[in-house]
Amino acid sequence: MNFLLVLEWLLKGFVLALLLLGGFAYLTLYERKALARMQSRIGPNRAGPWGLLQPIADAVKLIFKEELTPAKADKLIFLLAPVITVVPAVVITAVVPWGPSLNIFGHQLNLYIADVNVGVLYIMSIASIAVYGIVLAGWSSNNKYAMMGGLRSTAQMISYEIALGLSFVSAILLAGSMRMLDIVAAQGGYWFHIIPKWFVVLQPVGTAIFLIATLAEVNRAPFDMPEAEQELTAGYHTEYSGMKFALLFMAEYTKMIAISAIGATLFFGGYNGPFVDQIPWLGPVYIFLKIFILLFGMIWVRATFPRIRYDRLMAFGWKVLLPLSLALVFITSVGIILAQQVNANLIIAIPVVSLLVAGVAVAMIDRTLRRKDYERR
């Protein structure tokens, strides 16, 4: 029995890794097609029907591209850094439930790899490992531009990880558990038979902080200074080419899928949706659709917003997101206590007060920026 259980875990892990790596390939096509549509272009349309074979063409090109290693680079770390970056992006989704348990030919199949009672803590710890790969890639190249890009990325990721972790706390408090299955279960049902009991409804500002911080964590625009061509000649991956270069960007796009899955689970109900209790196979379909929409949001942000100046990027993380996320944790805690001790309907005060606090913060930021611009003139 134990052997069969281990075999099931291995098979599920293998299938999940294949799905993530295949998803990475076609996420690049999805992004290029979506950006082309927004910019009134055609996008990839030569390799295969409707450009569907473009990711395969890119993979073949990168496999046969010459790989160069700088003469004075630390060759072992230079080789291992892309691997250290990719592995956390794949294993972080081990605790994400992809659907309810399914009965297949009398066998109970759980659509997750690990059911950890501190699943959120596991996600936070694995997410923090990825920064090592990036800083080691910059340092091992023995290139000043790459080193600066690695340092920039390290500072950025550490700064926004704090706000990201505090945004997790709101979901943990609302669910009363750090177990991912409990968080999904707490978001089942509806208010007034219409509004889903998703945590994005109770904590919209916390969800917004999560989405902003994850953009900074994966170096996506407008937080992509560590790897932008106009900044430090592409930053930490300047000296990389061929499959090593592909691994670094495989990590970025795989992390995009992973954080979209985590965001869908924590704030958007996970696999919950209409008729899931009657047709369990709808669960994976719902979470896939939510991931698809969140990924489109990241692509839309890239097409819309210009890059933030680096000093303002760091100030935004420390002076805006961090205090705001701390305030949201306090508001959520007080709202839950009032709902438990006084009246359950007071839970609706959490989103109202959170939006008011966020509005005041935005007004103060706008006033400060206007004053600085006036003083500069």
Amino acid, single-letter form, for residue 32: R
Going by their DSSP bridges, the two strands 107-109 and 102-104 should be labelled as antiparallel
The DSSP H or E segment spanning 23 is helix 2-38
DSSP three-state, residue 213: helix
Strands (E), 265-365: none
Distance between CA atoms of residues 264 and 257, nearest Å: 10
User: What are the phi and psi torsion angles at 203 (to 5°)?
Assistant: -135, 70
In the predicted model, what is the mean pLDDT of residues 2-30? 85
How many separate helices (H) and strands (E) can be counted in the chain? 14, 4
Q: Supply the range of the domain harboring residue 293.
A: 2-376
CB 187 within 8 A of CB 283: no
Q: How many domains does the chain have?
A: 1
Whole-model pTM?
A: 0.90
Amino acid, single-letter form, for residue 78: F
Q: Would you give the distance in Å from CA 280 to the centre of its chain? A: 26
Going by their DSSP bridges, the two strands 107-109 and 190-191 should be labelled as unpaired
Look at residue 233 in the predicted model and tell me its pLDDT: 65
Q: Scanning the structure block, which residue is given the tokens 């990168």?
A: 62
Lowest mean pLDDT across 205-209, 275-279, 283-287: 275-279
b/e for 340-358, b at 16 or more Cβ within 10 A?
Answer: eeeeeebbebbbebbeebb
Look at residue 230 in the predicted model and tell me its pLDDT: 63
What pLDDT, in 10s, does the model give residues 183-226? 999 988 887 778 888 999 888 999 999 999 999 888 888 888 76
